[in-house]
Amino acid sequence: MVDATGALVLRGASSGWEELEGRLIKETKEWLERLQAKSKDTARGYGRDLGYRLPVDHPHKGRARSPLLGGKSWWGWLRSRGVNPLEAPEIEVIRWVKALKDDGYSANSRGRALAAVRSWYAFLEDRGVVERSPAAKVSAAAQGIYLPPKSPTIVLAPEESAAMISTADHLAGPMRLRNSATVALLLVSGIRVGECCDLSLHNLVTRQGKHRLQFEGKGGRPRALELADLAAVRLLAYLESRPDLKVVVRRGQAGARDRIPLLMTRTGKRVSRFEIFRLLRRVAEAAGLPREIVEQITPHATRHSTADQALDAGANPEEIRLLLGHADLRTTQRYLHADGERVPHKVGRVLDAALAGTG
């Protein structure tokens, strides 16, 4: 049945969607695999906006859940209205975005949701699954999605970075050693927050007294970061304090190192991005840094700070590109705010000197 807008309306919406589910999932998995090769975070966010539940590392026990999400996702919206997503008209996209606004979704959230739907339909067009995208001509501005220019990312001076490291060293709490290692790692290595959260014990490699992180970075590119002593000492102190590692070594579990998070919560799970955001703000405030820094400090800001301090320490842009894991030097240039052996060690020496001044 076709409604007044030209949309194909499924008779018996639930049963109609069950027939579509297999095809939707197959095409969507391939679309998300392409996105994940560039950014896991983008794939995760776009999947939620579209209405697809991404597979998790540890599958849900008990009755299997459908990967299709409801709520205000694009598929959830269409399903509630009995509209076939492969035949949805432009007006449905407009109605959906308006519904998101009415429900209090921010301009950023609505903009990402619209981008997700555009990306999905563009993929389906390329595959010949749909003839045209209903979202291609939907103007973000016409839907009230005005994204203000982003404020410049803050950059910490060496003394401010050192103050944060020193504060994390002494900030009381059951996770003090982990927090100390995390703050030092972010400020010295320039690692991305997602990469930091995904690190497992086997990613830490020690050869001839040198400690290095070897892992798969953004876009699937292999990365190797040699740790400056400032970060390595704190990371090793944290690992030596963990009773779970002694159990693994004693039992000799095959492959256990591959599954054990390098940075863990008290309950044994991987530390989350949110926890790291919260940690940085708590440490910045405890360190007495200016209010604007406390309010704007993020893992992205620590990357900018690392790049800036590396440049001041004499590293060239190509060295900094490798440090940050950028594919293109032009991306690195946006991180360099200053006028005009390995980079982490150069940054480490700058921060060591600054730390000496805080004593």
Q: Both 125 and 195 in a single domain?
A: no
Instruction: Give the contacts of 172 (CB within 8 A, at least 6 positions apart).
Output: none
Q: Both 119 and 87 in a single domain?
A: yes
Residue 300 among the catalytic residues: yes
Q: Report the CATH number that the domain containing residue 42 is assigned in CATH.
A: 1.10.150.130
The count of structural domains within the chain is 2
Q: Both 212 and 351 in a single domain?
A: yes
**From 46, 52, 238, 335, active-site residue:** 335
Phi, psi of 261 (to 5 degrees): -60, 140
Mean pLDDT of the chain: 77
Q: Both 206 and 341 in a single domain?
A: yes
Q: Both 173 and 296 in a single domain?
A: yes
**Half-sphere exposure in the Cβ direction for 60 (13 Å, CA):** 9
Higher pLDDT, 216 or 187: 187
Find the range with the poorest average confidence among 39-48, 104-113, 150-159, 164-173.
150-159
d(CA 297, CA 319): 25
Residue 335 among the catalytic residues: yes
Q: How confident is the model at residue 325 (pLDDT cuts 50, 70, 90)?
A: low
**From 192, 223, 234, 304, active-site residue:** 192
* pLDDT given at position 300: 86
The verdict on residue 2 lying in a domain is no
CB crowding 262-284: b at 16 or more within 10 Å, else e: bbbeeeeebbebebbeebbbbbb
Q: How confident is the model at residue 10 (pLDDT cuts 50, 70, 90)?
A: very low
Per-residue CA distances from 57 to 28, 91, 140, 259, 358 (Å): 19, 37, 35, 10, 43
Q: Both 212 and 244 in a single domain?
A: yes
Please give the average per-residue pLDDT across 54-72, as a whole number. Answer: 50
% of the chain with per-residue pLDDT over 70: 70
* pLDDT given at position 187: 92
Residue 246 among the catalytic residues: no
**From 48, 53, 300, 337, active-site residue:** 300
d(CA 189, CA 210): 15
Q: Could you give the 3-state DSSP secondary structure of residue 108?
A: helix
d(CA 120, CA 123): 5
**From 112, 118, 303, 346, active-site residue:** 303
Both tokens of residue 309?
């301090």
**From 326, 342, 345, 346, active-site residue:** 326
d(CA 183, CA 259): 23
The predicted model scores a pTM of 0.56
User: Across 116-130, 141-155, 312-326, which has the greatest mean pLDDT?
Assistant: 116-130
**Helices marked H in 127-228 — which ranges?**
158-170, 176-189, 193-198
Can you give the length of the chain in residues? Answer: 359
* pLDDT given at position 130: 86
The verdict on residue 3 lying in a domain is no
The verdict on residue 240 lying in a domain is yes
Full residue range of the structural domain in which residue 344 is found: 158-358
* pLDDT given at position 200: 93
Last residue of a domain, one of 118, 143, 168: 143
Residue 60 among the catalytic residues: no
pLDDT digits (tens, 9 = 90+) for 217-276: 776 778 888 888 999 999 999 999 998 776 544 444 445 556 799 999 999 899 999 999
d(CA 18, CA 9): 14
Beta strands 222-226 and 204-207, pairing class: unpaired
**From 79, 218, 321, 345, active-site residue:** 218
Q: How confident is the model at residue 42 (pLDDT cuts 50, 70, 90)?
A: confident
Both tokens of residue 110?
């609505």
Residue 46 among the catalytic residues: no
Please give the average per-residue pLDDT across 289-300, as a whole number. Answer: 90
Please give the average per-residue pLDDT across 136-143, as a whole number. Answer: 78
* pLDDT given at position 131: 87
% of the chain with per-residue pLDDT over 90: 28
Q: Both 169 and 135 in a single domain?
A: no
Please give the average per-residue pLDDT across 24-51, as a whole number. Answer: 83
Last residue of a domain, one of 143, 177, 206: 143
Is the pLDDT reported for residue 296 higher than 50? Answer: yes
Both tokens of residue 22?
């297999």
The verdict on residue 17 lying in a domain is yes
Both tokens of residue 288?
């007495």
* pLDDT given at position 94: 93
Q: Both 127 and 171 in a single domain?
A: no
d(CA 309, CA 287): 19
Residue 40 among the catalytic residues: no
Q: Both 172 and 40 in a single domain?
A: no
* pLDDT given at position 347: 58
DSSP code string of 34-55: HHHHH-HHHHHHHHHHHTB---
Q: Both 221 and 347 in a single domain?
A: yes
* DSSP H/E element including 113: helix 107-126
Q: Both 131 and 171 in a single domain?
A: no
Q: How confident is the model at residue 332 (pLDDT cuts 50, 70, 90)?
A: very low
Q: Report the CATH number that the domain containing residue 178 is assigned in CATH.
A: 1.10.443.10
pLDDT digits (tens, 9 = 90+) for 196-224: 999 999 999 998 888 988 888 776 778 88
d(CA 225, CA 48): 32
